[in-house]
Amino acid sequence: MPDPRSVPVPADIDRSEVPRHVAIVMDGNGRWATRRGLPRTEGHGAGEASLLDVTYGALSLGVEALTVYAFSTENWRRPVDEVRYLMNFNKGLLDRRTEELHAEGVRIVFSGRRDWRVPRQVIARMDRAIEMTQHNRRMTLNIAFNYGGRAEIVDAVARLVADGVGTKGVSERAIRARLYHPELPDPDLVIRTSGEHRLSNFLLWELAYAEMVFSEVLWPDFRREDLFDAIRDYQGRHRRFGGVSEGGA
């Protein structure tokens, strides 16, 4: 296999207009496996190569932050065997990849609830990854795990109350400061794979003005070239943020 780091960024991508923060709903693992006559869990396993390749693609673009949706607060509704597989898989993924990502200068963080349902062994790997990579500055990889956008807002409001903030102190800024990672800029671009056109409770606050790109590619087939395609799409758009664009259109 060629060095995964050696693929250059295509010349038609404008390096000065790269999104600072890209968020991805990694979807379609189950369908990928089912189409091959495999158990759904094989699709999750195959998604590891996609995650690594896309992470290297984001690094080569100079993206500041990449947030990936790995497990939602609703995914506990899946069959127990699949949930168990996903917990083990994510533990193994951190065991296999933390050092490698650390060597590339990636800071690993997590968004989500650390409730009783998340196995202790997974929490231990998360803490190890956070601690090992905390001083890295090249890119932040934010893994949304046991994450729900509504839960994040609820948690922020609970902190607001715990901090004794009164009615007058309630503001967007005060809520934002209590989200899981207030230091990250809002995503400029959100990508969902597998042809689904919904957010499924992903980053509800942070995606307020994100450009949305939907890809038909199933996550286990998604590679950095597909990320580059999404960036091209993004670069062809005009963001207005509620105002009017230059030229008044």
Active site residues: 27, 75
DSSP SS3 for 190: strand
State the minimum distance, in angstroms, from the CB of residue 195 to Mg ion. Answer: 10
Q: Using an 8 Å Cβ cutoff, are 193 and 218 in contact?
A: yes
Kindly state the number of chain residues that form the binding site for Mg ion, as judged by CB under 5 A. 1
State the minimum distance, in angstroms, from the CB of residue 152 to Mg ion. Answer: 20
Token pair for residue 133? 């990579």
**Which residue's beta carbon is nearest to the bound ligand IPE?**
30
Token pair 């984001």: residue: 58
Q: Tell me if 27 contacts Mg ion by CB under 5 A.
A: yes
State the minimum distance, in angstroms, from the CB of residue 198 to Mg ion. Answer: 10
| Span between the terminal Cα atoms of the chain, in Å | 48
Q: How far apart are CA 186 and CA 62, in angstroms?
A: 16
Q: Which is nearer to ligand IPE, 18 or 219 (CB)?
A: 219
Instruction: State the binding partner of 98 from ligand IPE, Mg ion, none, CB within 5 to 8 A by kind.
Output: none
Q: Which is nearer to Mg ion, 184 or 207 (CB)?
A: 207
State the minimum distance, in angstroms, from the CB of residue 196 to ligand IPE. Answer: 6
Sites of contact with ligand IPE (CB under 6 A)? 25-31, 69-72, 75, 86, 194, 196, 198, 200
Give, in order, the Cα–Cα distances in Å from 212 to each of 15, 22, 60, 74, 191: 20, 10, 21, 22, 6
Token pair for residue 127? 């803490």
Q: Which is nearer to ligand IPE, 179 or 217 (CB)?
A: 217
Q: Which is nearer to ligand IPE, 48 or 229 (CB)?
A: 48
Give, in order, the Cα–Cα distances in Å from 178 to each of 154, 155, 175, 207: 10, 8, 5, 16
Q: Which residues form the interface with Mg ion (CB under 5 A)?
A: 27
